[in-house]
């Protein structure tokens, strides 16, 4: 059912593991709010707590605003029907037209496509592919303890493991002193305590040393990059096996964007596993723009006509 365009706004949300990006636009496309909030402790929250946090964010940001014509949120951790129902419940109680997706689903929409695969490499690394019936399937998203391949947290976690293994093997590798210096520890054995006691988003800032060490000849750093690239490529392979559209893989994530070595390794791994029928692209627009695009579609012809000046 179409929602009238009169006096309404569109809301898009990209809620990842470390930050939430919210954008509110008029139906004509004017940006009213474009703000990023930190998500400290998000990984430790229950689904119900995340749902209430999103609801509170919307209440705060929409205060004094016209009623929203449509709200679309791409949320890290929205990986199953049960999680979806929990996450969307408080929003549906207050707003008439709400759609909740996995955050990686937003990438395809932000890239201007209606079908394909989105890969978020970061806190909560996951991939979502569109199915032939218009539905979606998501893989990954296990969190930094078990996954997060291609993201800064996963890279530093695996680097710490490599440094400890090198120490036990009495092996010299330039990754070890570089990582310890970046994290402010003086012995490999201190890495375990440091990673367990410091917020992951803070020690993730040391991810750059993996690429610096690889460029300096570290075999172990190079191994981390290749293994994480292969793990991300396997997500895409799993999506193909489950009937997802993997013709175009749209990627997002700070490390993938800023470290060509990882993006190139991932592209090569995808080509080996899936052949040349899959194109890998880096998203140029913020993922939240995909949420706004979808909100405009949901709101209906009245909103679309006004946005186009009809």
Domains of the chain, start order: 9-103+287-307 (3.30.420.40), 152-282 (3.30.420.40)
Q: Are 137 and 115 in contact (CB under 8 A)?
A: no
Nearest CA to 125 out of 215, 65, 200 is that of 200
To the nearest 10°, the Cα dihedral for 124, 106, 284, 244? 90
Alpha helices in 169-218 (DSSP H): 175-183, 190-197, 200-203, 208-215
Q: How, if at all, do strands 117-120 and 126-130 pair?
A: antiparallel
Nearest CA to 101 out of 13, 8, 232 is that of 13
pLDDT category of residue 303 using cuts at 50, 70 and 90: low
pLDDT category of residue 124 using cuts at 50, 70 and 90: low
Q: What is the DSSP code (8-state) at residue 1?
A: -
Which helix (H) or strand (E) segment holds residue 211: the answer is helix 208-215
Q: Are 288 and 255 in contact (CB under 8 A)?
A: no
pLDDT over 50 at 148, yes or no? yes
Q: Are 107 and 119 in contact (CB under 8 A)?
A: yes
Segment among 76-85, 99-108, 139-148, 160-169 with least mean pLDDT: 139-148
Which pLDDT does position 254 carry in this prediction?
A: 83
Segment among 70-74, 119-123, 188-192, 300-304 with least mean pLDDT: 300-304
pLDDT category of residue 170 using cuts at 50, 70 and 90: very high
Is the pTM higher than 0.75? The answer reads yes
Residue 279 to residue 160: CA distance in whole angstroms:
33
């Amino acid at each position: 059912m179409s929602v009238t365009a009169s006096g309404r706004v569109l809301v898009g949300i990209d809620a990842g593991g470390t930050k939430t990006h919210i954008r509110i636009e008029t139906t004509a496309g004017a940006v009213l709010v474009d703000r990023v909030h930190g998500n400290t402790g998000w990984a430790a929250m229950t689904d119900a707590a995340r749902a209430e946090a999103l609801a509170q964010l919307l209440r705060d940001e929409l205060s004094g605003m016209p009623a929203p014509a449509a709200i679309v949120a791409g949320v890290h951790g929205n990986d199953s029907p049960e999680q979806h129902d929990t996450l969307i419940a408080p929003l549906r109680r207050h707003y008439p037209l709400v759609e909740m997706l996995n955050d990686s689903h937003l990438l395809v929409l932000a890239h201007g496509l209606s079908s394909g695969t989105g890969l978020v490499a970061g806190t909560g690394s996951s991939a979502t592919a569109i199915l032939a019936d218009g539905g979606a399937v998501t893989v990954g998203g296990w969190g930094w303890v078990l996954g997060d391949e291609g993201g800064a947290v996963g890279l530093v976690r695996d680097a710490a493991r490599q440094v400890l293994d090198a120490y036990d093997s009495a092996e010299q590798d330039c990754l070890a002193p570089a990582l310890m210096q970046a994290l402010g520890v003086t012995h490999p054995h201190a890495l375990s305590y440091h990673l367990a006691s410091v917020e992951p988003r803070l020690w993730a800032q040391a991810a750059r040393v993996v690429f610096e060490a690889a460029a300096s000849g570290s075999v172990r750093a190079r191994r981390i990059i290749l293994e994480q690239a292969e793990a991300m490529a396997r997500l895409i392979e799993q999506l193909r096996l489950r009937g997802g559209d993997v013709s175009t893989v749209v990627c997002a994530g700070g490390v993938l964007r800023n470290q060509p070595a990882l993006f190139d390794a991932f592209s090569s791994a995808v080509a080996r596993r899936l052949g040349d029928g899959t194109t890998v692209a880096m998203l140029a627009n913020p993922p939240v723009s995909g949420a706004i695009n979808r909100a405009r579609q949901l709101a209906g012809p009245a909103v679309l006509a006004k946005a186009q000046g009809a």
